Amino acid sequence: MSKAKPPVVPLHQLVPKQAADFYALLIEKKQASTREGKPFFTVKFRDAKRTVSAAIWADSQLFGACNDDWQIGQYFKIRGFFVEDERYGPKIEIQNIRLVNDDDRAEGFKEADFIECSRFDPEAMFVELRALAETEIKDEYLKALTLAILDEHAPRLAALPATANRFFPFPGGWLEHTLSVAKNCQWLAEKYTAHYAELQPPLNRDAVVAGAILHDIGRVAEYRPPAIPGVMPEQTVEGRLFGHLTLGRDLVHRAAMAFPELNPELLMLVEHIIYAHLSLPAWGSPQLPAVPEVLIVHHADDLDAKMEMFVRCLMNDKGEGELTEADPVLKRPLWKGRKV
């Protein structure tokens, strides 16, 4: 008697120790060697809400096909066993695998199910972000600089993720994150300017808003556009060598040469916000904050990033029990069983 055919289940709905058929997009294939010098591949598959990894060892029947035939950007139908590794996160033990064919559409396969994107329209978000710069930055030259940078990189920003694999890791993520951070910073700058009215000179609200809008502009130089939708962007050489903070500061500094009337101290303040907004060396900040304006952008940025990671973990989890699976980015499970 033959074994029953496993059900077809969306990858993001698999629970630990479940065997099933599912469709997935190959987004990464890297070759390495064991300590004994034997080659193996680490591959990653995804749908719009979950990424899983698998190891293809040299003695596996799949090694030859992985080496010769599997290409990033291809869709596969996979039969496998899903596990949640405490150290490496979601993994799949592959039993059978083949390329998707036309017959799979009858089972519900659609390419759109594998490309996560922002819930909000990128064009509308860009318009709102640009309007915020135009109405909330009072210094005419800083406003002109900020708008010029946004306009120059508008095509890239529409499809840019905020990060490759941590928070807002999807097309439109940069705009969703940046717009949220900028709006929060606008409010916080007003609050603290009024609260510390005796501070002289007062908090520079223009620098906070411009710094918030441009705090991650270095991502346009850190990542190269992916050739295939849904595939995580790769870092450029400059991105690997310098990171988005240095690249962002340099981008703004070069763009400012077209605006010689801009107050150099105001420009330096915005550059410092970009350069130091991660705040801590352990988080990748090359410099500690030296002005209070950086604190506003730092905490607004960190809160927005953490909130998105928490919400995505809670909404994507399909397992049983009171806690989510251990999230590989947050490195902890979250309580999802609350009733209030």
Q: What is the pLDDT of residue 1?
A: 45
24 CB-near residues (< 8 Å, 6+ apart): 11, 45, 46, 47, 52, 75, 76, 78, 114
How big is the CA angle at 218 (ends 168 and 146), to the nearest 5 degrees?
A: 100
Q: What is the pLDDT of residue 2?
A: 52
Instruction: List the pLDDT tens digit at each of the 340 positions of the chain.
Output: 456 677 789 998 998 889 999 999 998 999 999 999 999 999 999 898 888 999 999 999 999 999 999 999 899 999 999 998 877 788 999 999 999 999 998 888 888 788 888 999 999 999 999 999 999 999 999 999 999 999 999 999 999 999 988 899 989 999 999 999 999 999 999 999 999 999 999 999 999 999 999 999 999 999 998 777 667 788 999 999 999 999 999 999 999 999 999 999 999 999 999 999 998 777 778 899 999 999 999 999 999 999 999 999 998 887 778 999 888 788 899 999 888 9
Task: List alpha helices for 8-121, DSSP H.
Answer: 63-68
Q: Which of 213, 156, 144, 189 is nearest to 296 (CA)?
A: 189
Q: Which of 141, 218, 213, 216 is nearest to 183 (CA)?
A: 213
Contact, 175 vs 125, CB < 8 A?
A: yes
Q: Give the whole-angstrom CA distance, residue 91 versus residue 97.
A: 15
Give the chain's domains with CATH numbers: 11-114 (2.40.50.140), 122-314 (1.10.3210)
* Cα dihedral value 123, 51, 301, 122, nearest 10: 0
Q: What is the pLDDT of residue 3?
A: 63
pTM above 0.85, yes or no: no
Q: Give the whole-angstrom CA distance, residue 47 versus residue 11.
A: 6
Q: What is the pLDDT of residue 267?
A: 98
Q: What is the pLDDT of residue 92?
A: 95
Q: What is the pLDDT of residue 317?
A: 82
Contact, 123 vs 130, CB < 8 A?
A: no
Q: What is the pLDDT of residue 295?
A: 97
